[in-house]
Amino acid sequence: MRSDEIKTGYHRAPNRALLRSLGVTDKEMNLPFIGIANAYNTIVPGHTHLRQLAEKVREGIAAAGGVPFEFGVIGICDGIAMGHEGMRYSLPSRENIADSIELMVQSHRFDGVVGIGTCDKIVPGMLMAAARCNIPAIILTGGPMLSGHHEGKDTSLIDIFEGVGKVAAGTMTEEALCDLERCAMPGCGSCQGLYTANTMACVTEAMGMSLPGCAAIPAVDAAKLRIARETGEAVMTLVKKDIKPRDIITEKSLKNAIRVDMALGGSTNTVLHLMALATEAEVPLTLEDFNILAESVPHICSMQPAGPHSMQTLYHAGGIPAVLKRLESYLDDSPTVSGKTILQIAKEARVINAEVIRSSEHPIHVAGGLMILFGSLAPDGSVVKCAAVPQAMWKHTGPARVFDGEQPAMKAILAREIREGDVIIIRYEGPRGAPGMPEMLSPTSALMGLGYTKVVLITDGRFSGGTRGPCIGHVAPEAAVGGPIALVQEGDRIAIDLFEKKIDILVNVPTLEKRRKNLKPHTRKLTGVLARYANTVEQANMGAVQR
């Protein structure tokens, strides 16, 4: 056991003395030591219940013959951080989480580790740490929030964001928005739709790093407590059999995760996180792989925000095992932390509601829900949730409306200075330029709330999983490193074509080169975490990992 390095032999008497001060018994000294990385806190709705889940994980570890040791991990609520300077700190927290788990695991020589988290950067950070440390590991995701209910309709956080646009448009009163605000989010758990937090939970299960069914179980359901206990027991099996994350996180399993992502029409952020995870696990993966898989896998679940179904609805329809069953013929068989292979899980699953989880013969769309676009505006790629783009906007050419940052763009949107047909360019919001590649749910939701239907939004930053409409993010290279998006001027014609997977600036090369010679990149004065991050972060097409 790795933990023997801190507890075996006379020369480890000082180490053992410290362990005994914790209440560790003689018998426990001979058992595997298991770390529990818990993202519990009382500011993030998706994390506020994790302390109770951790207790069940501890019970499971102890019952299966291990000794649990719990430690804390930070977690940022992107919804609370959205729309102001705080959002620049969200993506950098992913690296902090991975680093902090690595520090704890390696310092204390744990034999295995359980990651307990929900939300956008926490689960990716835990997966990255698992691949990096490569000791037996399993992830327990905290589960989605129940749907809100307002005037006979299910509601979620996105209704609030879009309500801001409706107030600006004069179609909703502030009092009505306040009423909606009070009932849209009824309790603990990750935001209700297939936004980034829940998409990451789904792909974690699909790649085999959490137990079958874990992703969709609501945070408040007793089934979540039961699977927490089973997760504690399962990590002990992994330790005894010496099954490590890199045995599970392989090219096959990552491609299975992408296939499930495509079938669900998940968040664009999963492209960023899966690329980062592939880097940590040393698995070959490119942006083009996403397009290749998207073309072969149908979009079979119409999930919020593009469709009507919440995670709660997906759970009652059979959850991710049922999705795997529908995709059985598309999947590569690979091991999972449950001891079953992914195809065994698929074969044993049952589709309870065929309207929610459709067959491949009757899909929502014949191709997957995400798409990578390349072209003169994004030579190294960009990402769009094509499942959330109306067919009429799959091909569009319009004049650029250029903004150096999210706030001036938001001001122009709310002031109704944007016209139908415009292509909004928000730049200097990339990994290095922002820094931190902030999500932009506020401007995209404002556009929806104001009733725009023919406006494209393009950015070198990111979009929330709650974004819908023709919104293209992760443009690489970003403006801060001299990418073509930095050369766009007001009124330039921008063309997008999702049918051809293209995104272009319709300006000739000599003109662009002349602009490049006169380019003075926008810079920010940075200190602390953001300064260190900006100096070390790679581009979005590389997963925005730190060098």
- Report the C-alpha gap between 244 and 74 in whole angstroms: 24
> Measuring CA to CA, which residue among 461, 433, 457 is closest to residue 526?
433
- C-beta separation of 252 from 84 below 8 A: no
- Report the C-alpha gap between 525 and 205 in whole angstroms: 41
- Report the C-alpha gap between 138 and 154 in whole angstroms: 33
Distances (CA, A) of 341 to 205, 253, 325, 409: 12, 10, 13, 48
Give, to the nearest 10 degrees, the angle between helix 269-281 and helix 90-108.
Answer: 30
Backbone dihedral angles phi then psi of residue 117, each to the nearest 5 degrees: -165, 170
Assess whether 302 carries a catalytic annotation. Answer: no
> Measuring CA to CA, which residue among 357, 207, 190 is closest to residue 273?
207
- Report the C-alpha gap between 213 and 211 in whole angstroms: 6
Beta-bridged to residue 372, according to DSSP, are 383
- Report the C-alpha gap between 224 and 415 in whole angstroms: 45
485 SS3 class: helix
Q: How far is Cα of residue 406 from the mean position of the Cα atoms in its chain?
A: 21
Bridging pattern class, strands 137-141 and 112-117: parallel
Bridging pattern class, strands 456-459 and 67-72: unpaired
- C-beta separation of 334 from 251 below 8 A: no
497 SS3 class: strand
- Report the C-alpha gap between 453 and 390 in whole angstroms: 9
Amino acid at 430: G
Alpha helices by DSSP H, listed for 461-517, are: 509-517
The DSSP annotation for 114-147 comes to EEEE-TTTHHHHHHHHHHHH-SSEEEEE--BPPP
- The single residue of 90, 334, 338, 464 carrying the catalytic annotation is 464
- C-beta separation of 235 from 66 below 8 A: yes
Tell me how far apart the 2 most distant CA atoms of the chain are, in Å: 76
Query: Cα 392–396–397 angle (5° rounding)?
Result: 155
The DSSP annotation for 55-115 comes to HHHHHHHHHTT-EEEEEE-----HHHHTTSGGGGGHHHHHHHHHHHHHHHHHHHT-SEEEE
Amino acid at 180: L
Amino acid at 369: G
The catalytic residues are 464
